[in-house]
Amino acid sequence: MGIPMTPLEWGLDATVALLLVGLAGRILFTRDLFEATVLFIAFGLTLSLAWVRLGAANVALAEAALGAGVTGALFLTAFHRLARRGLAHPLDRQRYRADELHDRSSRGRADRGDDPKPALLDVGILHGPLWLRASMALAGLAVTGGIAARLLTLADRPPSLPILVEAHLAETGVSNPVTAVLLNFRAYDTLLEVAVLVVAMIAVGSLDRGSRAFVRDPEELEEDPVLDALSRLVVPLAGVAAVYLVWVGSHGPGGAFQAGALLAGAGVLLVAAGLMGPVTEGAAPIRALAVMGLAIFIAVGAGSMPWTGSFLAYPPGTEYGLILLVEAVLALSIAVVLIELFVDVPAVPHVDPALAKVDPTGDPLGRRISPDGAVIRNPDEER
């Protein structure tokens, strides 16, 4: 960038950079899960500021919606669920080793002579002596440092692709190079990214269903006027913004992924406020929407083959319309998949009833919790 920066911009950038490092460090080293969750959301928002400063408004938006919004909400849900089972104490190594949760379900391996240590991520080293962990950390730092050094000293050879993209931009039907790459030059990669989302949803769905602790009963709504009012205010705005993002994607920062993330955020709010049920139990057309992006993409790609002779090529003159159509359906699909991933959190493997306690902090969503950890309104939900 050739434009000199003002002292104010310097200060802003330095603050953002320092904040990022500080937050990341604090998240890694705090022993309080709730603090880590809140800091993670703050980290996501700061990161999106950094993207804004780098001139990537679309990435910033996606980061804010996905990194801070949806992911943060997922972490909050997970925390609240752990809290209800009396497992969300400040991280205490003796008690909170990852295998605590899983020991019960994995003890069977002991009889084969294997170590009974099937923790979530038990590489052994995590619980090893200090010198071992320290040397592993140093080795990791050395590798990372080496890679970073390589990156910084890369030969200054500007990739030739941006120039080629610029040269062919006029033929793509859109004037935003990002959209041109995503939906025309390398449309296949985008089609596959959508498939990745679908398969992630299927994978989550095929696991044991969560307790749906997050989904609220509509009758409960009056108990929480804030969430209700907020969602009535924010959701329509998010919907309008999503439509705008799809449309603007053809010539400026925006597009299906950002719009989908925004819609998903709105959807999560709706689910949280009890205004919308979980998608899996919803009407079939809504569930079908999740795979519709994939279907429309393949249909457009294959349907135009008689005219173009090539998969995923757009017949000349139709590029703009087709790209907009694909983007619009994609945005809906992405939103449904993200909401689905959010609502359908897989169950935490069975925990002994003895471990579950009355949540000392109270339920974040204001519901009453019975001593065995279930929501009173649906007593049979938990076990």
| Window 202-241: residues binding another protein (CB under 8 A) | 202-203, 205-208
Show contacts with another protein in window 112-131 (CB under 8 A).
Answer: 112-113, 118-123
Contacts (Cβ under 8 Å, ≥6 apart) of 330: 194, 256, 257, 260, 293, 296, 297
Q: Which of helix, strand or coil describes residue 375?
A: strand
Q: Which is nearer to another protein, 26 or 127 (CB)?
A: 127
Residue 105 contacts another protein per CB under 8 A:
yes
Q: Which of 38, 50, 136, 313 binds another protein (CB under 8 A)?
A: 313
Q: Does 192 bind another protein (CB under 8 A)?
A: yes
Least CB distance to another protein at residue 183 (A): 10
Are residues 43 and 76 in contact, defined by beta-carbon separation less than 8 angstroms? no
DSSP 8-class letter at 6: P
Amino acid at 168: H
Q: Which is nearer to another protein, 309 or 360 (CB)?
A: 309
Q: Quick one: 90 or 124, whose CB is closer to another protein?
A: 124
- Could you say whether residue 185 binds another protein (CB under 8 A)? yes
* 8 A C-beta contact, residue 225 and residue 366: no
Question: Is-contact 85 351, C-beta < 8 A?
Answer: yes
Give the range of 64-72, 187-195, 227-235, 250-258 binding another protein by CB under 8 A: 187-195
166 within 8 A of 306, measured Cβ to Cβ: no
Distance between CA atoms of residues 68 and 75, nearest Å: 10
The reply on whether position 93 binds another protein by CB under 8 A is: no
User: HSE-up of 162 (CA within 13 Å, CB side)?
Assistant: 5
Rounded Cα–Cα distance for residues 268 and 360 (Å): 26
Cβ at position 291, least distance to another protein in Å: 5
- Residue 159 engages another protein in binding (rule: CB under 8 A): yes
| Binding flag, residue 312, another protein (CB under 8 A) | yes
Q: Which is nearer to another protein, 218 or 349 (CB)?
A: 349
Binding mask 257-286 for another protein (x = CB under 8 A): ---------------------------x--
Q: Is residue 195 at the binding interface for another protein, with CB under 8 A as the rule?
A: yes
DSSP structural state of residue 324: H
**Nearest by Cα to 218 from 232, 228, 209, 233:** 228
Distance CA 274, CA 215 (A): 7
Within 319-378, the residues that bind another protein by CB under 8 A are 346-347, 349-350
According to the binding rule CB under 8 A, does residue 102 interact with another protein? yes
Region near another protein per CB under 8 A, out of 39-47, 143-151, 245-253, 367-375: 143-151
Q: Report helix angle 33-53 to 7-29, nearest 10.
A: 150
What secondary structure does DSSP assign to 197-247, as a single string? Answer: HHHHHHHHHHSPP---TT---GGGGGG-HHHHHHHHHHHHHHHHHHHHHHH
By CB under 8 A, is residue 301 in contact with another protein? yes
In this complex, which beta carbon is closest to another protein, that of residue 111 or of residue 219? 111
Provide the minimum distance between the beta carbon of 364 and another protein in the complex, in angstroms, as a whole number. Answer: 25
Report the residue from 291, 323, 331, 369 that binds another protein according to the rule CB under 8 A.
Answer: 291
Site size toward another protein (CB under 8 A) is 73
Q: Per CB under 8 A, does 165 bind another protein?
A: yes
Residue from 49, 191, 289, 329 that binds another protein (CB under 8 A)?
191
Q: Give me the least distance between CB of 133 and another protein, in Å please.
A: 17
Q: Restricting to residues 25-44, name those near another protein by CB under 8 A.
A: none
Other C-beta atoms closer than 10 Å to the C-beta of 98 total 14
Q: Using CB under 8 A, which of 4, 7, 129, 158 touches another protein? A: 158
Produce one character per residue of 302-312: b if its CB has 16 or more CB atoms within 10 Å, e if not: eebeeeeeeeb
Nearest residue (CB) to another protein, 272 versus 296: 296
How many CA atoms within 13 Å lie on the side-chain side of 302?
A: 7
Asked whether position 5 contacts another protein by CB under 8 A, the answer is no
Alpha carbon distance 164, 166 (integer Å)? 5
User: What are the two backbone dihedrals, phi and then psi, of residue 72, each rounded to the nearest 5 degrees?
Assistant: -60, -45
